[in-house]
Amino acid sequence: MSIAIAGTGYVGLSLAVLLAQHNEVSVVDVVPEKIEMLKSGKSPIADEEIEDYLAHRQLRLIPTLDARKAYADAEMVIIATPTDYDPDKLFFDTSHVEEVVDLVLESNPEAVMVIKSTVPVGCIRGLTERYPEGRFLFSPEFLREGRALYDNLHPSRIIVGVPSESPFSSELRVQARRFAALLEEAALDEATPVLIMRATEAEAVKLFANTYLALRVSYFNELDTYAAANGLDASRIIEGVGLDPRIGSHYNNPSFGYGGYCLPKDTKQLLANSRSIPQDIIGAIVEANRTRKDFIADEISLRVNELMHSGAASRPVMGVYRLTMKSESDNFRSSSVQGILRRLSEKGIPALVYEPALASGEFFGNEVIRDLASFKERCDIIVANRWSDDLADVADKVYTRDLFKRD
């Protein structure tokens, strides 16, 4: 099949590489540097499997800036452009998805558009009403950054949503099966569960799945706060709790809060989608993340003050080791440590930031350095959302809540 993909980010590029094993795939972006990198066989994002597939596999992949041509030639257009939630306007910005929809309808109105970007519940119904000539499907994406292609080679499930209100709904049900079959064909695992449902239900799956993940992070963070406030060993409590097989010993490692590109915006979006229904938990999940960051910032501030008053350092230097959310990630979109930095800066505590992925020498008024040895030398206390063996020789300076040394 001839496929076009809008967006060469984590979602778009991993799908492009995945599907280009068996199909001709044009992959489009608006950033020329990303397309240039792809043309020379390099990945614009850090992802071991994507880098390996680009270098060593036979792929029918055409990186291009010419969106109009790519969409005109495609039977299916997969949309993987960014979406964002604006907490001030209580509004989920889907304008980059709509830009692509407009272009597809101009250049190839019969193409099936599969939306992979995360959207609010009801978005596809709205698009179907606004563009009755458009053929839309929604397929939630469940990959993790840094493991994007791996997660698509080993999908936990494939879900495709069909807008029941579309004049093409019976044709789209067939196309939904076709799209699911493309993903299945490219995956390495057999018997991946495939669910075809209404688009609105598929949108809800994505937001409820991410909100559950945020709940789980918040729950173990709250357990950790409780333990720290009472002088208890959180790791022992977590181990004891997790050995109940109904709870499990996975995804339970405390942190400074949930963060990254998806969980903060998707929980807030679900809360906005839930305004008119009776609920307590979703709002509490959003609130719990703020409370956790307040607690962590207070703990750090206490340690800085202790250093000052003990005479160990007259003006202690507080360092932040990495701005990334996860140890394998190469970006720091909405990472929780940024919330800690902001709170500490409001308390008048500046930071020295070690972040080799940041070109600038400054981050929100804080000095940034890329030399690890001098960072370790200059800091009296080092704040790290995730532990790294890089810090082993200065372990006594490190403040982290990464109890199990994993994400």
Ligand X SMILES: NC(=O)c1ccc[n+]([C@@H]2O[C@H](COP(=O)([O-])OP(=O)(O)OC[C@H]3O[C@@H](n4cnc5c(N)ncnc54)[C@H](O)[C@@H]3O)[C@@H](O)[C@H]2O)c1
Which residues are known catalytic residues? Answer: 262
The interface mask with ligand X, positions 345-384, x = CB under 6 A, is ----------------------------------------
Instruction: Confirm or reject binding of residue 262 to ligand X (CB under 6 A).
Output: yes
What does DSSP assign to residue 317?
A: P
Nearer to ligand X, 258 or 375 (CB): 258
Stretch of 2-10, 16-24, 53-61, 334-342 contacting ligand X, by CB under 6 A: 2-10
R_g of the chain, CA atoms, integer Å: 23
Stretch of 28-36, 152-160, 287-295, 306-314 contacting ligand X, by CB under 6 A: 28-36
Stretch of 95-103, 106-114, 180-188, 242-250 contacting ligand X, by CB under 6 A: 95-103
Phi/psi at 348 (nearest 5 deg)? 80, 20
Q: Which of 330, 326, 334, 303 lies closest to 316 in space, CA to CA? A: 303
Instruction: Confirm or reject binding of residue 10 to ligand X (CB under 6 A).
Output: yes
Q: How far is the CB of 359 from ligand X (least distance, A)?
A: 18
Stretch of 79-87, 217-225, 321-329, 384-392 contacting ligand X, by CB under 6 A: 79-87
Q: Using CB under 6 A, which of 100, 153, 215, 337 touches ligand X? A: 100
Nearer to ligand X, 81 or 400 (CB): 81
Q: Using CB under 6 A, which of 99, 165, 294, 328 touches ligand X? A: 99
> What's the burial of 397, exposed, middle or buried (CB within 10 Å: 0-12/13-18/19+)?
middle
Whole-angstrom Cα distance, residue 80 to residue 4? 11
Phi/psi zone of residue 253: left (φ > 0), alpha (ψ -120 to 50 degrees), beta? beta
The interface mask with ligand X, positions 212-251, x = CB under 6 A, is ----------------------------------------
Q: Using CB under 6 A, which of 71, 85, 256, 261 touches ligand X? A: 261
Stretch of 10-18, 161-169, 289-297, 367-375 contacting ligand X, by CB under 6 A: 10-18
353 and 370 Cβ atoms separated by less than 8 Å: no
Nearer to ligand X, 266 or 355 (CB): 266
**107-146: contacts with ligand X (CB under 6 A):** 116-118, 141, 143, 145
Nearer to ligand X, 7 or 161 (CB): 7
Q: How far is the CB of 376 from ligand X (least distance, A)?
A: 31
Q: CA of 75: how far to CAs of 1, 11, 96, 106, 137, in Å? A: 7, 19, 21, 14, 13
The residue written with tokens 């291009």 in the block is 64
Nearer to ligand X, 36 or 298 (CB): 36
Q: How far is the CB of 186 from ligand X (least distance, A)?
A: 17
Instruction: Confirm or reject binding of residue 15 to ligand X (CB under 6 A).
Output: no
Instruction: Confirm or reject binding of residue 30 to ligand X (CB under 6 A).
Output: yes
Instruction: Confirm or reject binding of residue 29 to ligand X (CB under 6 A).
Output: yes
Whole-angstrom Cα distance, residue 15 to residue 33? 19
The residue written with tokens 């939306």 in the block is 115
Q: How many residues belong to the site for ligand X (CB under 6 A)? A: 28
Nearer to ligand X, 144 or 378 (CB): 144
Whole-angstrom Cα distance, residue 4 to residue 7? 10
> What's the burial of 367, exposed, middle or buried (CB within 10 Å: 0-12/13-18/19+)?
middle
Whole-angstrom Cα distance, residue 229 to residue 237? 14
Q: Using CB under 6 A, which of 1, 31, 281, 302 touches ligand X? A: 31
Please count the other Cβ atoms lying within 10 Å of the Cβ belonging to residue 193.
Answer: 9
DSSP string, 57-108: S---EEEES-HHHHHHT-SEEEE----EEETTTTEEE-HHHHHHHHHHHHH-
Whole-angstrom Cα distance, residue 316 to residue 214? 34
**157-196: contacts with ligand X (CB under 6 A):** none
The interface mask with ligand X, positions 43-72, x = CB under 6 A, is ------------------------x-----
Whole-angstrom Cα distance, residue 12 to residue 245? 36
Which residues make up the interface to ligand X (CB under 6 A)? 6-12, 28-31, 34, 67, 80-83, 96, 99-100, 116-118, 141, 143, 145, 261-262
